[in-house]
Amino acid sequence: MAYVDEVIKEVSEKNSNEQEFIQAVTEVLESLRPVVEADDRYEKNAILERMCEPERIVSFRVPWVDDAGKVQVNRGFRAQFNSAIGPYKGGIRLHPSVNQSIIKFLGFEQTFKNSLTGLPIGGGKGGSDFNPKGKSDGEIMRFCQSFMTELYRYIGPDTDCPAGDIGCGSKEIGYMFGMYKRIVGGYKNGALSGKGIPYGGSLGRNEATGYGAVYFTEELFESIGKKLAGTTFALSGFGNVSWGVAKKLNELGAKVVSISGPDGYIYDKDGISGEKVDYMVEMRGSLRDRCEDYADRFGVEFHAGEKPWGRVKADVYMPCATQNEIGLEDAKRMIEEGTSKLLIEVANMPTKAEAVEELQKAGFMIAPSKAVNAGGVAVSALEMSQNAMKLSWTEEEVDEKLKKIMKNIFNNIDSAAKKYGMDGNLIAGANIAGFLKVAEAMLDEGIF
Ligand SMILES: NC(=O)C1=CN([C@@H]2O[C@H](COP(=O)(O)OP(=O)(O)OC[C@H]3O[C@@H](n4cnc5c(N)ncnc54)[C@H](O)[C@@H]3O)[C@@H](O)[C@H]2O)C=CC1
Ligand SMILES: O=C(O)CCC(=O)C(=O)O
């Protein structure tokens, strides 16, 4: 049996109840075939097996008291996946769907993504099944403090630096940082990123994932002779990432016609711009998790229980909410609708494997999330650098660095795809380019 197949089989058997993790591993390993077949050092040193096994995972109890005085118990996780090229780095997801499989798929993906940024950061991810929806500020603070009361043992500016993700923004990071500081003493603000500006956050971090995704899209458009101005985009989600994408697309003259939530999607034919983009921040901050609020406010169409894929006429689809939000039926609808041939993934692993296959067969170009959304973690790493140097860069300085990073990512993954005979396959290009750097470091560092 070929090396790649052996490892996929072993990972699938060992983690048979972790579907998302198996999905992420299978996608990455499948595209590494030509690379590992051309160099037997990877098999001899069990590089793939080691990359698929996190260096460690901690799972812990998170007890907190709600406003009614009742004790609640959640489960917390941190997967420290791979530190070959730097300290573990990756967000904290607070969502009821969080379990070990979700955290492991995200930590695995993060390793390759962080490598693509060109910065010295390893891969990690954490989270909890805590649901921020409908919680008071006091409840969120008490949860975050309890979460950090356990997590603090495992993190630090040179070991592991968590940040935000779904359900975890600068407010939650602020509460976690306050408790971290209280427990460990000193002012080690490089232990968390995505912090508020007054206590060591980087200007531009809030916008970085969305803006970075649009800078990546600009590079991609240039390579295929398209212009952003005048192009129509269908987005999902209305959170931090979706907001950043919408803001930057508007600035560059493109039009955003949809956003969504767990309750359904809205279609705004006039475009989501100006105060409507600002309203997305309000919607996320309300913790209602309802997209229908936008329809009520601006009098546009709301489609309950549906997703925009193939239901909205757009030139580009850009999922910005969560994993596996585009399934096979969605892909078929997108193909049948016929306007778009471009899927730019921004959420982590938003497309199911069978949907990717169907879209590729129909000639869709797919830009993979681990490259497209890498601007967020890249600016987090810039935040760590600023904290270490005890200085702050201007928004312009950060933005300029972000643009360069996104341009390099596009060029590197495009060249990697070409080098291995898969011209235009950006999924393979991203997996290969991300893998090579981590694998070389692991080979140099010996077996551990
Ligand atoms: N925040 C960041 O810097 C980065 C985020 N990402 C990824 O981008 C995506 C969005 O993250 P954020 O905007 O930060 O989170 P957020 O919490 O600000 O917003 C999440 C959005 O997705 C929607 N959503 C979440 N779960 C859903 C579900 N099961 N069904 C339908 N809608 C759902 C929510 O309603 C909300 O609109 C996630 O996949 C995250 O992992 C990736 C890189 C960095
Ligand atoms: O900013 C970070 O450290 C992590 C961001 C993140 O969780 C991601 O890239 O998915």
Q: What is the largest CA-CA distance in the chain?
A: 62
Which ligand neighbours the alpha carbon of 240 most closely? 1
What residues have CB less than 8 Å from 329, skipping those under 6 apart? none
Q: Which residues make beta-bridge pairs with 91?
A: 163
Question: CB within 8 A of 39, min separation 6: which ones?
Answer: none
Segments making up each domain of the chain, as ranges: 3-186, 207-367
Residues in Cβ contact with 76 at an 8 Å cutoff, skipping those fewer than 6 apart: 59, 60, 61, 62, 126, 127, 128, 147, 150, 151
Residue nearest to atom 17 of ligand 1 (CA): 166
Ligand 2 atom nearest to CA at 377: 1
- What phi, psi does 88 have (nearest 5°)? -55, 140
* Cα–Cα distance measured from residue 76 to residue 74, given in angstroms and rounded to the nearest whole number: 7
Q: ipTM score here?
A: 0.99
Q: Which two tokens stand for residue 23?
A: 């999905």
* Token pair 């950043």: residue: 244
Q: Rounded CA gap, 428 and 420, in Å?
A: 9
- Residue 261 in contact with residue 291, Cβ under 8 Å? yes
**Residue 255 has what pLDDT?**
98
Ligand 2 neighbourhood includes 379 CB (under 6 angstroms):
no
Q: Report which protein residue has its CA nearest ligand 2's atom 1.
A: 377
Architecture of domain 207-367: 3-Layer(aba) Sandwich (3.40)
Distance 100 CA to ligand 2 centre (A): 17
Return phi, psi of residue 140, to 5°: -65, -40
- Identical fold at 3-186 and 207-367? yes
401 catalytic, yes or no?
A: no
The one catalytic residue in 125, 181, 248, 370 is 125
Radius of gyration over every alpha carbon of the chain, rounded to an integer in angstroms: 21
- Find the 225 Cα to ligand 1 centroid distance in Å: 30
List, in order, residues 6 or more apart from 414 with CB less than 8 Å away: 223, 426, 429
Q: What integer pLDDT is reported at residue 162 of this predicted model?
A: 98
Q: What angle do CA 323, 329, 330 make, to 5 degrees?
A: 55
How open is the CA angle 150-77-26, to the nearest 5 degrees? Answer: 160
3-186: CATH class: alpha beta
Q: What pLDDT is stored for residue 95 in this prediction?
A: 98
Per-residue pLDDT of the chain (448 residues; tens, 9 = 90+): 999 999 999 999 999 999 999 999 999 999 999 999 999 999 999 999 999 999 999 999 999 999 999 999 999 999 999 999 999 999 999 999 999 999 999 999 999 999 999 999 999 999 999 999 999 999 999 999 999 999 999 999 999 999 999 999 999 999 999 999 999 998 999 999 999 999 999 999 999 999 999 999 999 999 999 999 999 999 999 999 999 999 999 999 999 999 999 999 999 999 999 999 999 999 999 999 999 999 999 999 999 999 999 999 999 999 999 999 999 999 999 999 999 999 999 999 999 999 999 999 999 999 999 999 999 999 999 999 999 999 999 999 999 999 999 999 999 999 999 999 999 999 999 999 999 999 999 999 999 9
Q: From the CA of 108, how far away is ligand 1's center (Å)?
A: 18
